[in-house]
Amino acid sequence: FTVLGFESSCDETGVALVRADAAGQVPRLLSHALHSQVAMHQAYGGVVPELASRDHIRRVLPLTDAVLAESGRSLDAVDVIAYTRGPGLAGALLVGAGVACSMGAALGIPVLGVHHLEGHLLSPFLSADPPEFPFVALLVSGGHTQLMRVDGVGRYAMLGETIDDAAGEAFDKSAKLMGLGYPGGPALSKLAEQGDPKAFALPRPLLRSGNLDFSFAGLKTAVLTQARKLGDELEARKADLAASTEAAIVDVLLKKSLAALELTGLDRLVVAGGVGANRLLRVQLNAECRRRGVRVHYPELHLCTDNGAMIAMAAAMRMASGAAEPSKRYAFDVRPRWTLGED
Ligand code: ATP
Ligand code: MG
Ligand code: FE
């Protein structure tokens, strides 16, 4: 079967076609298209929800046309329509849900709402070297930081999560106070390449907590304190501060991931979410996992942040595994706050 998927939970409009052939085979991506609203929101220093919703409305149909054209297929080839049901911005989610369900009703084909984080979690299955179950998952995005034990599609056990800010938030907030724009994670990481990661001693919160939870709020405060202390010197030491911040975040993510592997006894790690694109994180995880005989899987770089491919993929994998069935009930709702695994 062929799935057309829509992502509109925040500030990227994503549309994709995924095809599931034989049972037991990983579904494959036929085509996808993405429009990022980052440039539009940059002037405001963050996402403006009302502008996000309106832009999703403008982009979603042209992107759908592009995806169909690129795959050489028409809407007749689509068997199921998937959309991000949550979590995310309510107005933004309603655009994708509304379009998906209207299109489903017009074509008389079933629809399926999927969890945005399940999309991120399963996005490494879109890569050339997909993982196999079971594995430990490190989900590091703009709004979430979680370690999970994953035994199959829909079989997720939480091992630990952040008690305050997400890792992506720590990158973005630190970047913002260094004047690196929004979302500043990638910019901070780039600047860090020219800095000394040992220049400033920043806290590694909860590193010795004895559990797999994270905390990044204190780190952001420490970065702010350090920036204030530097005063006029900040400009000259910015690369050092960026490198020290990145080192602190990556250090915690690395050590907690290794602890999760140890605790579960599993020898496979899957990293997903926007921060999974971070170069230092990949370098350090690769090195430590190689030493331990652990295989690490990542999404392709361009599929780490939000996209439609992961939503179509999650729907296809849920259906192929029997974890979910799409339906012809076209009345829709969205779940702006929604914990993965909760009904
Ligand atoms: P969620 O998925 O939790 O709802 P989100 O959709 O906003 O949140 P993603 O799209 O997965 O999050 O990821 C965006 C985040 O990833 C931002 O915080 C961004 O700064 C961060 N990010 C992207 N690339 C990098 C990088 N190379 N280094 C560090 N952080 C990065
Ligand atoms: Mg985004
Ligand atoms: Fe996301």
For residue range 15-71, list pLDDT tens digits in order.
Answer: 999 999 988 899 999 999 999 999 999 999 899 999 999 999 999 999 999 999 999
pTM over 0.90: yes
Q: Tell me, what's the pLDDT at 24?
A: 83
Our answer on whether the CB atom of 189 is closer than 6 Å to any ligand 1 atom is: yes
The mean pLDDT value for 195-216 works out to 96
Q: How far does residue 12's CA lie from ligand 2's centre (Å)?
A: 6
> Which DSSP state fits 190?
H
Assess whether pLDDT exceeds 90 at residue 168: yes
Atom of ligand 1 nearest to the CA of 189: 28
C-beta of 276 in contact with ligand 1 (< 6 A): no
Cβ 141 under 6 angstroms from ligand 1: yes
- The per-residue pLDDT for 23 is 81
> Residue 85: in which H helix or E strand, if any?
strand 80-86
pLDDT in tens, 210-266: 999 999 999 999 999 999 999 999 999 999 999 999 999 999 999 999 999 999 999
Give residue 343's pLDDT. Answer: 83
**Nearest partner of 165 among 128, 206, 115, judged by Cα:** 206
CA distance 8 to 90: 10
The DSSP letter of residue 100 is H
ipTM over 0.95: yes
Neighbours of ion ligand 3 (CB under 5 A): 141, 306
| CA–CA distance, 29 with 95 (Å, rounded to integer) | 23
pLDDT, mean of residues 170-199:
96
31 Cβ contact partners less than 8 Å away, ≥ 6 residues apart: 16, 17, 67, 68, 70, 71
Q: pLDDT confidence of 205, banded at 50, 70, 90?
A: very high
Whether 173 is in the pocket of ligand 1, judged by its Cβ within 6 Å, is no
Q: What's the CA-to-centroid distance between 169 and ligand 1, angstroms?
A: 8
Quote the tokens at residue 214: 């994270």
User: Residue 3: beta bridge partners?
Assistant: 18, 80
Distance, in Å, from the CA atom of 117 to the CA atom of 268, rounded to the nearest integer, reads 19
**76 a known binding residue?**
no
Residues 6+ away with beta carbon under 8 Å from 276: 138, 140, 282, 298, 299, 304
Q: Is 43 helix (H, G, I), strand (E, B) or coil?
A: coil
Binding site membership of 305 for ligand 1 (Cβ less than 6 Å): yes
